[in-house]
Amino acid sequence: MSGHSKWATIKRKKEFTDSKRANSFTKVTREIIVATKAGSSGDPEHNFRLRLAVLKAKSINMPNDNIQRAIKRGLGEGDDSAQFEEVYYEGYGPAGVALLVQGLTDNRNRTAGDMRYIFSRNNGNLGEAGCVGWIFSSKGLISIEIESSGKSEEEMFELAIEAGAEDLKKNEDIYEVYTDPGSLEAVRKYFENQKILLKSVELTMIPQNTVEVSGEQVDQLLKLVDALEENDDVQNVYGNFEIPDSALNE
């Protein structure tokens, strides 16, 4: 879990520029479209995947008009006939780090070509399907700001277990609550009933083991992950890397 946490911490500290905001809007729009279509419903209360996508949209301050337009496209009411499908790519980065890339694309050939190019230009190797996927397990993840929660780590851990969560980690200024994917909605409702403000709710992939990265390979790895995440077709990048704090300050 620490590999995921470390990258989440780095991303929170990075400047959220206008270009990155636009890129985030594009990704979440696609997620809303696909979630709406997959659940055959534009109502977040009756479509859990859509609810998660809408929560993510709100967390990056996407205007409600944009959200509603994306839902209409997912219901087939928009002018855009593009059909997005979920794809996964697997490969290796510097230091042998395993990388799992989740994407939504309307052109598999274009996206596959982009992935090969990005991996090869950034000290990585795109692998065959299944080469690293087995390292990751699907988990629900709820992030809560420690200050806003008003709870000690022990108190929050007890609440998490009572809610049906599997584990809780303290990651700098954030509590990370991990759940079985099927329990995520129940745990979310429990915390909301306890008047706990949630920063984000999502499904994620957690590595079973991690690889420590240091020296120049840290910059190489982060450059590769950045390049992957900047691609419009990429929704999430998961890795099994661990970066010591000392390496980030070098």
Tens digits of per-residue pLDDT, 122-131? 999 999 999 9
Instruction: Say if residue 120 is in the same domain as residue 143.
Output: no
Res 77: pLDDT? 84
What local confidence, expressed as pLDDT, does residue 164 receive?
97
**Within the chain, which residues score under 70 in pLDDT?**
1-21, 78-82, 246-250
Residues 109 and 224 in one domain: yes
The CATH number that applies at residue 230 is 3.30.70.980
Q: What is the pLDDT of residue 223?
A: 94
- What pLDDT is stored for residue 250 in this prediction? 55
Q: Are residues 151 and 168 in the same domain?
A: yes
Same domain flag for 203 and 96: no
If we measure between CA atoms, which residue out of 126, 127, 147, 141 comes closest to residue 206? 141
Question: What is the model's pLDDT at position 2?
Answer: 42
pLDDT of residue 44: 94
pLDDT for the residue 59: 87
pLDDT of residue 12: 53
Residue 7 lies in a domain: no
Verify that 148 and 121 share a domain, yes or no. no
Q: Tell me if 1 is assigned to some domain.
A: no
| Sequential DSSP letters for 16-77 | --HHHHHHHHHHHHHHHHHHHHHHT-S-GGG-HHHHHHHHHHHHTT--HHHHHHHHHHHTT-
212 and 128 in a common domain: yes
Is the distance from CB of 74 to CB of 36 less than 8 angstroms? yes
Task: Let me know whether 119 and 223 are in one domain.
Answer: yes
pTM of the model: 0.87
Same domain? 173 vs 140: yes
Range of the domain at 235: 85-134+208-243
- Regarding whether 38 and 124 lie in a shared domain, the answer is no
Both 90 and 31 in a single domain? Answer: no
User: Does 126 lie in the same domain as 42?
Assistant: no
Q: How many domains does the structure of the chain reveal?
A: 3
Task: Answer whether residue 44 is part of any domain.
Answer: yes
